Amino acid sequence: MLSLPPPYALRPMTVADIPAVLTIDRASFPTPAHEQLYYNELVDNQLSHYQVLTRAAENGETILGYAGFWLIAGEVHISTIAVAPAERGRGLGEWLLLNLLRLACELDPLLITLEVRRGNTVAQALYAKYRFEEVGVRRRYYRDTGEDALLMTVDLSAQPDYCAWLAGRPLRIERRDAV
């Protein structure tokens, strides 16, 4: 797990985190996930890896964001990533993604994949920064809005230095100094 400067921290998501995660989920996606989905991911799905990003305070920690992936037959699929709306634009999403990708690299994947809404240019910019390339389109993939999904991947055979590059990437902290 990536080590963050206090009061921030990353840790595996637990069932007790689900209510806070759902609050962020509802504020982040047109069709929010059900509680049962996260429960199944954490309890039943042996292939899933979910983490939360927290900020410690005197009265306890606050969950600021979360991210998850599955590993299936050498393919890491990023299933979700979100930051609480009030906390966006300060580098937390990048911390979550960098952490997730480093964890994925420990599993020696052949391919890292994800889908992103065509209109979600913020997330696409983040993925492009981490060397994801657009390789396809799933037409009208999202039933709620009818929006297309862009399929973005990192192909480790085409980018054999990828995990070494990630390991050497510094943690950007300048945008959190004011906190």
Ligand X SMILES: CC(C)(COP(=O)(O)OP(=O)(O)OC[C@H]1O[C@@H](n2cnc3c(N)ncnc32)[C@H](O)[C@@H]1OP(=O)(O)O)[C@@H](O)C(=O)NCCC(=O)NCCS
Which of 91, 100, 112, 176 is in the footprint of ligand X by CB under 6 A? Answer: 91
Torsion of CA 103, 108, 110, 116, to 10 degrees: 0
CB atoms within 10 A of CB 6: 8
- Closer CB to ligand X, 28 or 54, in the complex: 28
- Both tokens of 84, joined, read 């609480």
Which of 86, 125, 167, 178 is in the footprint of ligand X by CB under 6 A? Answer: 125
Residue 34 CB, nearest approach to ligand X (Å): 17
Whether cis (ω within 30° of 0) applies to the bond prior to 7 is yes
- Closer CB to ligand X, 88 or 102, in the complex: 88
Residue 171 CB, nearest approach to ligand X (Å): 11
DSSP state of 22: H
Place of tokens 């037409």: 139
- Closer CB to ligand X, 18 or 82, in the complex: 82
State the Cα–Cα distance between residues 11 and 154, nearest whole angstrom.
24
Give yes or no: 75 in active site.
no
* Contact in structure between 113 and 77 (CB atoms under 8 Å): yes
Which of 11, 26, 34, 129 is in the footprint of ligand X by CB under 6 A? Answer: 129
Residue 179 CB, nearest approach to ligand X (Å): 13
Catalytic residues: 115, 127
Residues that bind ligand X (CB under 6 A): 28, 81-83, 88-94, 116, 120, 122-123, 125-126, 129
